Amino acid sequence: MVTFLAGGTGTPKLLDGAARVWDPVETAVVANTGDDVELGGHLVCPDVDTVLFAGGGVLDRETWWGIADDTTATHEELRRLADAAELGSGPRYLGDEAQTAGRDIARWRRFSGVGEFMEIGDRDRAVHVTRTSLLDEGRTLTEAVGSLADAFDLEVDLLPMSDDPVATLIHTEAGETIHFQEYWVARRADPAVADVEFRGAADAEPTAAVEEALADPVVIGPSNPVTSVGPMLALPGVEAALSATPVVAVSPFVGEEVFSGPAADLMAGVGRDPSTAGVADAYPFADAFVLDEDDPTDLPDRHVERTDTRIDDADDAERVSRACERALAAVGGGEAGPDAEVVE
C-alpha cells in the first residue's frame, strides 16, 4: 500500500504515472479540502475533484480544473443576470453569522452565487449538487466522495483529509483576510501575502480512514507546500503520523525556481525560503526527497533521488514515480521494482 497527499495540480499530475508503479487498488489519495468553498449553496471541492475527474478520465487537462469539453450555460447566465441587475460579479461572501450557521462542512468559506466568480461547468455543477445533497441527507464528506468515486469508476481510494471544515485564508499585507479562492481565482494571486491561516484546523480531525492510510508509506508530490499540503499538516496528529512512517517528497522547485503557481509567494509570505531548501524545512518528517537533476540543493540529512522532475505527460509522471519508488525503498518503505531505473 502507498498513500499520496494531493493538492493543487502537482500531485494529481504525478498520479498519472503512479498507476504504472503502484497498483491503483492498493493506493490511497488523501486530498486537501482547505480550498473548498460553498458557492451558491453547493460545496465545491477543487482538490478532491481534480483527482476524481483525472481518475475518471474526464479531467480538463488544459486547465487541470473541471470536466473536459463541459458547457457553461448556467455559469454564463448567472454572470449575465448579475450584470443586467447591476449586482457585480466579484466574490460575495455571505455574512458573518451565515459563515458559521447551517452546514458545518461549509463554514468560513461561504459565497453567494450571484455573479459566480468561479467558472463552474454544467456537468461539474452536477457533481457539486450531488455531493451537497448527500451531505444534506446526512452523509459525511468521506461517504459522499466515496459515492462519487464509485460513479466515476475510480480505482484509487480517494479520501478527503477530514470530515470537518478547514478554510485556507490569506492575510494580505494590506490588512485583508480573504479565502484562498479569492486570492487565486478572483485576484490571480496579486495581493502580497503576509500570512496564511488554516481556520478550523485545530478543531478538525483526520478521519479514521485517513489515519489508516497515513500508516502506509507516503508520497508527497510536487504540490504547493503552503496551501495544498499545509492544511493537511495543520490537522492534529498528521505530522506525528508522518514522522512514524516512511515519507518521500517531490520538490515543486528547482533550487529557487518554482515550476508553476503561487508557491514561492506563499512560502515567502509565511516566512519560509521559497526554494527546495525551504520545502525541506517545511517537511521535517520527510525521510527522502526527489529533486530535479539540475537542482543545486544539498540535503545532507535526507536521502535524495534525482531525475528530471518536470511532469508534462504520463511518461514524465512515471519517471518521477519510479524515483519516488526508489526513495521509499531506500528509507524502508518498500522495494523498488525490478524495472526501476537508477538515475544519478
Model confidence pLDDT, tens digit, residues 215-234: 999 999 999 999 999 999 99
Task: Indicate if the pLDDT at residue 335 is higher than 80.
Answer: no
User: What pLDDT is attached to residue 326?
Assistant: 97
Task: Indicate if the pLDDT at residue 337 is higher than 70.
Answer: no
Instruction: Give the pLDDT band (50/70/90) at residue 65.
Output: very high
Residue 324, C-beta contacts closer than 8 angstroms, at least 6 positions apart: 14, 18, 21, 219, 248, 250, 290, 305
Task: Indicate if the pLDDT at residue 287 is higher than 70.
Answer: yes
Task: Indicate if the pLDDT at residue 344 is higher than 60.
Answer: no
Measured distance CA(226)–CA(232) in Å, rounded:
10
Measured distance CA(325)–CA(305) in Å, rounded:
10
Report pLDDT digits (tens) over 130-186: 999 999 999 999 999 999 999 999 999 999 999 999 999 999 999 999 999 999 999
Instruction: Give the pLDDT band (50/70/90) at residue 303.
Output: very high
Evaluate whether 273 touches 281 at the Cβ level (below 8 Å): yes
Write down the mean pLDDT value for the chain: 95
The residues pairing with 307 across neighbouring beta strands, listed in sequence order, are: 292
User: What pLDDT is attached to residue 88?
Assistant: 84
Measured distance CA(182)–CA(7) in Å, rounded:
17
User: What pLDDT is attached to residue 338?
Assistant: 46
User: What pLDDT is attached to residue 336?
Assistant: 62
Taking residues 259-273, what's their average pLDDT?
A: 94
Task: Indicate if the pLDDT at residue 23 is higher than 70.
Answer: yes
Burial of 254 (0-12, 13-18, 19+ CB in 10 A): buried
All cell numbers assigned to 41: 449553496
Please, how many CA atoms are within 13 Å of residue 302, restricted to the half-sphere of its CB?
Answer: 27
Backbone angles phi, psi at 277, to 5 degrees: -60, -40
The DSSP letter of residue 156 is S
Task: Indicate if the pLDDT at residue 342 is higher than 70.
Answer: no
Report pLDDT digits (tens) over 83-92: 999 998 799 9
Helix (H, G, I), strand (E, B) or coil at 76: helix
Measured distance CA(7)–CA(222) in Å, rounded:
9
User: What pLDDT is attached to residue 339?
Assistant: 47
What proportion of the chain, given as a percentage, has pLDDT over 70? 97
